[in-house]
Amino acid sequence: MSIREIILSPEEAFGESRFTTSIYQKLGVKQDGDQWVRPLKRSIDARGKKIIVRVQCEVIPTAEKGPLITYTKNYPDVRHKPTVVIVGSGPAGLFAALRLMEFGIKPVILERGADVRARRRDLAAINKEHIVNPDSNYCFGEGGAGTYSDGKLYTRSKKRGDVTRIMEILVAHGAKEEILFDAHPHIGTNKLPKLIEEIRKSILEAGGEIHFNTRVTDFILTDSHISGVKTLSGETFTGEAVILATGHSARDIFELLYARKILIEQKPFALGLRVEHAQQLIDRIQYHCPVDRGHYLPASSYSLVHQAQVNGQQRGVFSFCMCPGGFIVPSATAPGEVVVNGMSPSRRDSRFANSGIVVSVDETDFKPFARYGPLAGVHFQSAIEKQACLSAGGTQVAPAQRLVDFVERKVSTSLLDTSYQPGLASVDLAAILPGFIGESLRQGFKNFGSKMKGYLTNEAQVVGVESRTSSPVRIPRDKETLEHPQVKGLFPCGEGAGYAGGIVSAAMDGERCAEAVCLKIGVNMRK
C-alpha cells in the first residue's frame, strides 16, 4: 500500500466520466489490473495562474481491496427495547438515534416541525406569502436547519468524534461517495431531503419512532431527575433518558429551561449581515479567469477574517456559511422578525454567491438586556431581528444596502437583483445594527476588499440580518458523562446546547451523547 499525490486539470478532476480513468493513467496503474486506486483527498489549488487539482491516492493490491465504506445499515430490532426520548430531528438527534439503535436502544424522536416533504409547503409560504409557521420553517422540521442549507460537511472538530464514520453513514444513506475525499465536501439542499428520508426509513424499520408536528412544552421532573417530556397536545413521552437536541433557534425551550430553574448560561456568538455578489465576480477573483470559470471548475468560495478595532476593543469579523452558487433564504422562526441565511443546491449553479459576514459578540454586549439573566443574548438577538422586520415594512422583505453605500454610510437609491425571494427594501442598516457591529463590519469589508480585489463594490449588496450563527445559550453538561450537572437523565446535545457548529460536528455530538446515555443506563457497549 502506498499514498501518492497527482495533479489533474479541472476537466480531469471534475469530469465525472474522466476522473477515475485520469487518476489511473497519471499513476501508471492499469484499471482492473493488479492494483486498485482509492482517492483520499481532492483539493483545488488556485494559487497560480493555472488552476490545478491535487489528488492524494492510496494504491492497494487488488487482492487486498476492501469495501469503499465499512459502515452497514444493519440495525437490530428495537421495538421492545428500553426507550430514550430525543427532542429534535436535526443532525444531532438523528445520529443519536442511529447510534442508540446500534446498541439496542429504542429512540423516540419528537420533532416540532413537519417531515421534509410537508415542510416544503411551509417554506413556500414564507417565500411567497410572507407567512412564518413558528413550528415548521427553515430552522425547524425534519433534518433541522441543515436540511435546507448548503449541506457543508467540512468541520474542524476532528477531536470530537470520528468524521470518517459520519461521512460513511451519509454515503450508506445515499450521499455521493465523493464526500469521502473532497477537501470541502457538501451535499446540497436539493439532495439533502432524500438523504434525510433514508435515515428516517432506517430508524422506523428498526422499530424507532419519529413524531412530527409534536412540540415539547414541559419536562417531567422528579427530585432533579427527568423521566420524559410533555407536548403541546397533552401527550407524555417517557424513557430512560432525554437527549435535548433542539437546535440553536428553539427559544421556547431556552425559556422553559429557565422557567423550570434548570441551569443555562449565556454564550458568545456572532451577528451581522449576508453579502451577495455575482458568482462570476467571485470566480474571476478566486480563479483569475477573465470571463467565467468554465464548465468543470466548481463555483468558487472564500473564507475571510479580520480583527477590527472599535472603541478600543478588538472585534473578530469573519465570513460564515459561504454559499457559492447559492441563494439567500428567510430563516425567521416567528412572525415579526427578519432573519437571513444561505443555501446552495448540489450543483451550486445559481448566478449568485452569498456569505454571512458577522461580528463576534459576548456577554458584555448584552448588558442592556441583563434583566433577562442567561437569556440576555437571546433578547439581544431578537431585538435586532424585530427591528430589521419593522424597518423593511413588517413582512419577510429584508432590509438591504449596496455594499459600498453601506461602508460609506449612504442609503442606496436602488438595489440589485437578488436571490432572496421575498424581496429587498433599501434601508439604512446602521439604524438596525448596534453601532459597534456596524463599524466592525465597515472595517471588515474594507479589509476584505484589499485581500480580494473587486470584492468591495457597489455591484454587491448586504442583506440583514444574519443573526442565527450559533446558539446564544449554552446548556451545561459534565465533561465526562455529558449529563446536565443538575438534572439527572438530561443530555444537552448539538448546536442548540452550544456544543456543535454544523452538520458534521452536530452529528458527532449526537453520537457522543447516545454513547453517554448507554453508559449511564448500563448498556453493553462492546458491539
Question: How many Å apart are CA 60 and CA 1, to the nearest integer?
Answer: 5
Number of residues in the chain: 527
Q: At what angle do helices 192-205 and 116-124 cross, to 10 degrees?
A: 140
Count other C-beta atoms under 10 Å from residue 260's C-beta: 12
Answer for the pair 422, 126: CB distance below 8 angstroms, yes or no: yes
Q: Angle at Cα 456 formed by Cα 453 and Cα 458, nearest 5°?
A: 130
E strand residue ranges, 223-293: 225-231, 236-238, 242-244, 265-266, 269-278
Q: What count of Cα atoms within 13 Å lies in the side-chain half-sphere of residue 71?
A: 19
The pLDDT value given to residue 159: 61
Nearest to 506 by CA among 97, 41, 177: 97
CA-based torsion, 114, 344, 168, 172: positive or negative = positive
3-state secondary structure of 243: strand
Q: Angle at Cα 217 formed by Cα 194 and Cα 233, nearest 5°?
A: 75
Answer for the pair 475, 508: CB distance below 8 angstroms, yes or no: no
Dihedral, CA atoms, 241, 375, 122, 109, nearest 10 degrees?
0
H or E element at residue 404 = helix 403-407
Question: How many Å apart are CA 97 and CA 227, to the nearest integer?
Answer: 18
Question: How many Å apart are CA 337 and CA 22, to the nearest integer?
Answer: 51
3-state secondary structure of 268: coil
Question: How many Å apart are CA 291 and CA 293, to the nearest integer?
Answer: 7
For strands 106-110 and 209-211, give the pairing. parallel
Q: Which residues of 174-210 are buried (b: 16+ CB within 10 A; e: fewer)?
A: ebeeebbbbeebbbbbebbbebbbebbebbeebbbbb
Q: Which residue matches cell numbers 449581515?
A: 273
Question: How many Å apart are CA 264 and CA 373, to the nearest integer?
Answer: 10
Nearest to 5 by CA among 76, 39, 55: 55
- Amino acid (1-letter code) at residue 84: V
Rounded to a whole number of angstroms, the CA Rg of the chain reads 24
- Hey, what's the cell of 84? 430514550
CA-based torsion, 120, 273, 468, 176: positive or negative = positive
- Amino acid (1-letter code) at residue 28: G
Nearest to 377 by CA among 263, 249, 244: 249
DSSP 420-468: -TT-EEE--GGGTS-HHHHHHHHHHHHHHHHHSTT-S-TTSEEEEEE--
Q: Which residue matches cell numbers 453508559?
A: 519
Ordered per-residue pLDDT tens for the chain, 527 residues: 689 999 999 999 999 889 999 999 999 999 988 999 999 999 999 998 899 999 999 999 999 888 889 999 999 999 999 999 999 999 999 999 999 999 999 999 999 999 999 999 999 999 999 999 999 999 999 999 988 877 788 776 666 678 999 999 999 999 999 999 999 999 988 889 999 999 999 999 999 999 999 999 999 999 999 999 999 999 999 999 999 999 999 999 999 999 999 999 999 999 999 999 999 999 999 999 988 898 899 999 999 999 999 999 999 999 999 999 999 999 999 999 999 999 999 889 999 999 999 999 999 999 999 999 999 999 999 999 999 999 999 999 999 999 999 999 999 999 999 999 999 999 999 999 999 999 999 999 999 999 999 999 999 999 999 999 999 999 999 999 999 999 999 999 999 999 999 999 999 999 999 999 999 999 987 75
DSSP 503-525: HHHHHHHHHHHHHHHHHHTT---
The pLDDT value given to residue 236: 98
The pLDDT value given to residue 156: 67
- Hey, what's the cell of 218? 414541559
Nearest to 419 by CA among 363, 351, 358, 373: 351
Q: Indicate the pTM of the whole model.
A: 0.95
Q: Angle at Cα 215 formed by Cα 213 and Cα 219, nearest 5°?
A: 150
Q: Which residue matches cell numbers 477537501?
A: 183
Tell me the backbone φ, ψ of residue 58, rounded to 5 degrees.
Answer: -110, 125
- Hey, what's the cell of 471? 446558539
Answer for the pair 227, 489: CB distance below 8 angstroms, yes or no: yes
Question: How many Å apart are CA 138 and CA 148, to the nearest integer?
Answer: 6
Q: At what angle do helices 163-172 and 91-102 cross, to 10 degrees?
A: 90
- Hey, what's the cell of 189? 439542499
Question: How many Å apart are CA 434 and CA 429, to the nearest integer?
Answer: 10
